Structure 1
Amino acid sequence: MAEYEWQRIARTIEEEIRSGRIPPGGALSSITRLAQTHGVADRTIRRALRDLRERGLIETLPHKGSYVVDVLPPVNEPEDDESVD
């Protein structure tokens, strides 16, 4: 299945968070800066950040920006298709 641009960006930011390049409590770049960096519209970045928020990786403070949460949730493992009896 094809990946949307916002999904690719969310995955890239998640990798930066999980690798420690953006540490817990660390600030993400502004929406404008992220849009310039990734060559996409602001709304694409907003969608990627919403996904990261919904998955508990970041929090966004009004008029302050988005920050990595202090304690990261576990990595979502793909579900195994084989059932165990």
Structure 2
Amino acid sequence: MTNAEAMQPYQRIVQDVRDQIATGRLPAGAKIPGIKALAEEYQVAAGTVQRALTELRALGLVYSHQGRGSFVSEQASAKADSTADAIRRLEERVDELTARLESLEQRSN
């Protein structure tokens, strides 16, 4: 059983929305598809989508307006930006350490 198969359906929706926020496909202020659209996309009941949206709100990733829908929060976008920056810094550090290691290996040969 894969991780995706082990996830509850609402968790899969939460993870997909989190991934879309992290990659910038859903920037701050972007409207999340409605409950009906998400229910059709994921082939789940509306209650399952509602549970996913509740979880996303609890995580501070989305906020909802009655009658208007759910939107990506500024906080979520800032987290995605800081995560991307941290990843870039780690990649730069790994490149630097790799170069130093290669240099040391060449010296010892």
TM range, smaller chain: 0.7 to 0.9
Higher helix share: 2
In structure 1, stretches of 5+ residues that fail to align are 76-85
Identity of aligned pairs, percent? Answer: 33
Q: How does 1:1-85 map to 2 (within 5 A)?
A: 2-72=6-76, 74=79
Task: Tell which structure's C-alpha radius of gyration is larger.
Answer: 2
**RMSD of aligned C-alpha atoms?**
1.6
Quote how far apart the aligned CAs of 1:71 are.
2.5
CA distance in structure 2 between the aligned counterparts of 1:16 and 1:71, rounded to whole angstroms: 14
**2:71 is matched by which residue type in structure 1?**
Y
TM-score scaled by length of structure 2: 0.64
Quote how far apart the aligned CAs of 1:53 are.
0.2
Q: Name segments (4+ residues, structure 1) moved above 2 Å.
A: none
CA distance in structure 2 between the aligned counterparts of 1:42 and 1:58, rounded to whole angstroms: 18
TM-score scaled by length of structure 1: 0.81
In structure 2, stretches of 5+ residues that fail to align are 81-109
CA distance in structure 2 between the aligned counterparts of 1:13 and 1:74, rounded to whole angstroms: 14
